[in-house]
A and B are shown apart, each in its own frame.
Chain A
Amino acid sequence: MLLGAAAVTLSSCSLISRDQVVVVDETPALQPILEFAADQIAKLTAVIDGGSNHEPTLAMVRDNHQAHAEELARILGVDIPAGSDELEGDALAALNQREAEGAEEATTACVEASPQFAVLLGEIAACRASHSDVLGVIGG
Chain B
Amino acid sequence: MANELDPGVVAEYEAIFTHGDSGPHLSNDLAVMARESERRHRDLRDRVTGWLSQQDIDAPAMQPVYSLPVEPVDAETAIEAITLAEQRCTQAWRSVLADAEGETRRVAVEALAESAIAEARWRRALKQSPSTVPFPGRSQ
Query: Which residues on A are within 8 Å of B, measured CB to CB?
Result: 56, 60-61, 63-64, 67-68, 103, 107, 110-111, 115, 118-127, 129-131, 133-134, 137
Given A119-B97, A131-B132, A125:B109 Cβ within 8 A: yes
Is B124's CB under 8 angstroms from A137's CB? yes
Please report the C-alpha to C-alpha distance between residue A107 and residue B116 in the assembled complex, in whole angstroms: 14
A36 to B67 Cα, complex, angstroms: 42
Task: Select A111's contact among B109, B114, B134, beta carbons within 8 Å.
Answer: B109
Q: Which of B20-54 contact A (CB under 8 A)?
A: none
Whether B109 pairs with A126 at a CB distance below 8 angstroms is yes
Within the complex, which residue of B100, B117, B138 is in contact with A133, where a contact is CB–CB below 8 Å?
Answer: B117
B99 partner residues in chain A, CB cutoff 8 A: 115
B102 touches A125 (CB 8 A): no
Q: Is the CB of B94 within 8 A of A127?
A: no
Query: Which residues of A are found within 8 Å of B97, using beta-carbon distances?
Result: 110, 118-119, 122
Asked whether, in the complex, the Cβ of A111 is within 8 Å of the Cβ of B135, the reply is no
Shortest Cβ distance from B131 into chain A, in angstroms?
6
Report the nearest A residue to B119, measured CB to CB: A130
CB contacts (< 8 Å) of B116 on chain A: these are 126-127, 129-130
Q: Could you tell me which residues of chain B, from 84 to 106, have a CB within 8 Å of some CB in chain A?
A: 90, 94, 97-103, 105-106
Interface positions of B (Cβ within 8 A of A): 90, 94, 97-103, 105-106, 108-110, 112-117, 119-121, 124, 129-138
B132 near A127 with CB under 8 A, answer yes
**A108 closest partner in B (C-beta):** B106
| Residues of chain B lying within 8 A (CB to CB) of residue A115 | 98-99, 101
Q: How far is the CB of A27 from chain B (nearest CB, A)?
A: 13
Please report whether the interface of chain B is mostly helix, strand, loop or mixed according to DSSP.
Answer: helix
**Contact partner, A67, options B117, B120, B124, B134, Cβ 8 Å:** B134
19 contacts between A and B (CB under 8 A): A64-B133, A103-B113, A107-B113, A110-B105, A111-B102, A111-B109, A115-B98, A115-B101, A123-B94, A123-B112, A123-B136, A126-B109, A127-B133, A127-B136, A129-B117, A130-B113, A130-B117, A130-B131, A133-B117
Separation of A68 and B134 alpha carbons in the complex (Å): 7
How many Å lie between the Cα of A125 and that of B100 in the bound state?
16
Note all chain B residues with C-beta closer than 8 A to A129: 113-114, 116-117
Contact B132 A130 (CB under 8 A): yes
Max chain A C-beta neighbours (<10 A), residue from B94, B98, B129: B98
Asked whether, in the complex, the Cβ of A133 is within 8 Å of the Cβ of B105, the reply is: no
Give the complex CA separation of A127 and B134 in angstroms: 6
Contacts of B100 in A (CB 8 A): 118
CA of A120 to CA of B109, assembled, Å: 11
